[in-house]
């Protein structure tokens, strides 16, 4: 039982070893589980209260087992921001990635030939991405409406222009090539949306801490590394869902199945994307540690001079 007679659990960290990929994968398989979206708000708040109280006092209500504490921690990590401790907007949580993206990406890949459909679904996708990027930013700093709208507009424009331009080129190529246009657009948009949405971090830096978790400064170098890691993770996350289904759908098209049963096009595409995302989401979230590190030698000179000379590495929350 979780009481004063048993060793205290460290609920400030994930249950599994985050220094190895397998530990990070297990963590995100639990926290990014789509079923977490269905957990009632009251249950999330109860979990947050239990985790917070245990962190502060090291005790839990009588009869609370260690497994119940870890379950509460799993729910807490799935719904609350690691830096601010505030409950995140449900659509922006990693647990919403599969149901949201399977619908949006599935439709992007189904309706990739019509310019009107391309514009609409790229707009929907970038609206969703803007919510996710804002929700999962590092540090939890508040940003202005202008700082939100500029990257949103830039990413939507970039994705739409890329998709429309490549779509014109793809018309002169085999139909299979045209099915990859949405992925190229998503990759281009992520490279613009994420750094612009998190531009305040690039300008002011993100919090860096020592091994004990004590804040020791703010670093722009750490922000650049964090944002690069997130861009790569997001592109790799989208890759299986936007690369594997086109081969399957193209095969169905060649066999005439989509011609005989056109109504299965969108549902099949969405189901295939969802299946890929169930595995790709936790896998790609786990590519880099949530609390990543950077050598002190790579920090800005102004930051280094204020640090303890004995400090060799510092840590930062990269965001998701």
Using CB atoms within 10 Å of the CB of residue 297, give its burial: 0 to 12 exposed, 13 to 18 middle, 19+ buried: exposed
Count how many Cα atoms sit within 13 Å of the Cα of residue 242 in the half-sphere of its side chain: 24
Residuewise pLDDT in 10s, the chain (320 residues): 454 444 577 888 888 888 899 999 999 999 889 999 999 999 999 999 988 888 887 777 887 888 888 999 999 998 998 778 888 888 888 889 888 988 888 887 777 777 888 888 888 888 888 788 778 776 556 666 777 777 778 777 777 777 777 777 766 767 667 667 777 777 777 777 778 777 788 888 888 888 888 888 888 999 999 999 988 898 888 888 878 888 888 888 888 877 788 788 888 888 888 888 888 889 988 999 888 888 888 888 888 888 888 888 989 888 77
Strands of the chain, DSSP E = 206-209, 215-219, 291-295, 313-317
Residue carrying structure tokens 């950077």? 294
Three-state secondary-structure class, residue 294: strand
Q: What angle do CA 243, 26, 290 make, to 5 degrees?
A: 80
Q: What is the pTM of this model?
A: 0.76
Give the integer Cα–Cα distance in Å for 164 and 167. Answer: 5
Q: From residue 271, give the alpha-carbon distance in Å to each of 127, 130, 253, 258.
A: 22, 24, 17, 15
Residue carrying structure tokens 């995302």? 277
What is the H or E stretch that residue 302 is in? helix 301-304
Q: From residue 187, give the alpha-carbon distance in Å to each of 102, 159, 180, 233, 236.
A: 16, 8, 11, 11, 9
Q: From residue 218, give the alpha-carbon distance in Å to each of 114, 156, 315, 316.
A: 46, 30, 11, 9
Q: What angle do CA 245, 237, 23 make, to 5 degrees?
A: 125
Strands of 89-226, DSSP E = 206-209, 215-219
- List the one residue out of 183, 303, 297 whose CA is nearest residue 238: 183
pLDDT at 7: 55
CB 270 within 8 A of CB 207: no
CB 294 within 8 A of CB 246: no
């Amino acid at each position: 039982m979780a009481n004063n007679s048993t060793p205290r659990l460290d609920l400030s960290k994930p249950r599994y070893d985050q220094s190895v990929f397998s530990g990070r994968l297990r963590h995100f398989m639990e926290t990014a589980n789509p079923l977490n979206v269905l957990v009632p708000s009251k249950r999330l708040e109860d979990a947050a209260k239990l985790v917070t109280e245990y962190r502060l006092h090291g005790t839990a209500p009588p009869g609370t087992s260690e497994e119940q504490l870890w379950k509460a921690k799993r729910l807490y990590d799935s719904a609350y921001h690691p830096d601010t401790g505030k409950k995140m907007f449900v659509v922006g949580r990693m647990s919403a990635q599969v149901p949201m993206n399977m619908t949006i990406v599935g439709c992007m890949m189904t309706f990739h030939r019509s310019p009107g459909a391309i514009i609409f679904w790229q707009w929907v996708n970038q609206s969703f991405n803007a919510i996710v990027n804002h929700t999962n930013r590092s540090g939890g700093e508040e940003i202005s409406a202008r700082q939100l709208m500029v990257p949103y507009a830039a990413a939507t424009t970039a994705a739409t222009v890329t998709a429309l331009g490549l779509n014109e080129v793809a018309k002169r190529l085999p139909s299979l090539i045209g099915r990859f246009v949405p992925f190229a657009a998503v990759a281009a948009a992520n490279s613009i949306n994420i750094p612009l949405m998190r531009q305040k971090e690039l300008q002011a830096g993100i919090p860096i801490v020592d091994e004990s978790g004590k804040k020791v400064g703010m670093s722009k170098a750490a922000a650049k590394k964090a944002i690069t890691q997130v861009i790569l993770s997001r592109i790799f996350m989208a890759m299986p869902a936007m690369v594997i289904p086109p081969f399957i759908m193209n095969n169905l098209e060649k066999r005439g199945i989509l011609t005989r049963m056109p109504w299965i096009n969108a549902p099949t595409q969405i189901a295939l994307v969802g299946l890929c995302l169930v595995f790709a989401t936790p896998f790609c979230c786990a590519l880099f540690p949530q609390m990543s590190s950077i050598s002190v030698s790579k920090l800005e000179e102004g930051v280094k001079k204020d640090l303890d000379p004995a400090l060799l590495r510092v840590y930062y929350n990269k965001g998701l």
